[in-house]
Amino acid sequence: MHEMSLTEGVVEILREEGRKQGFARVKTVWLEIGTLSSVEPEAMEFCFDAATRGTLAEGARLEIIRTPGQGWCLDCEKTVPLAERFGACPDCGGYHVQMTGGDEMRVKELEVE
């Protein structure tokens, strides 16, 4: 389960930001996860409690925002939604689609004290 190491990375980001910005406690974390990122949101939620134990984020709420996949179809010359990596263009059926979004994971926002 690579989500545990990803969650530990998020906790490290929270620690660093706490040091930089001088906050003592994280109340809520909004985490953006792309639908094409190969990250399971449910597994991240499961790992979050364990990874935050004993840190400034212990007891914090994790809010996950799913971002849709999208790509640029070279044949249609437009942005199209993507349901899977290397999938066909939903408009023309061609496979000349460059993924432009939906594969990211990032801390979008924090509520802190």
Distances (CA, A) of 61 to 26, 29, 45, 92: 9, 6, 9, 42
Question: Degrees (nearest 5) of the Cα angle 8, 11, 12?
Answer: 90
Beta-carbon contacts of residue 20 (< 8 Å; ≥ 6 apart): none
Reply yes or no on whether the pLDDT at 1 is more than 90: no
Question: pLDDT (tens digit, 9 = 90+) per residue, 21-78?
Answer: 999 999 999 999 999 999 999 999 999 999 999 999 999 999 999 999 999 999 999 9
Domains along the sequence of the chain with CATH? 3-69+102-112 (3.30.2320.50)
Predicted TM-score (pTM) of the model is: 0.86
Give the whole-angstrom CA distance, residue 104 versus residue 36. 8
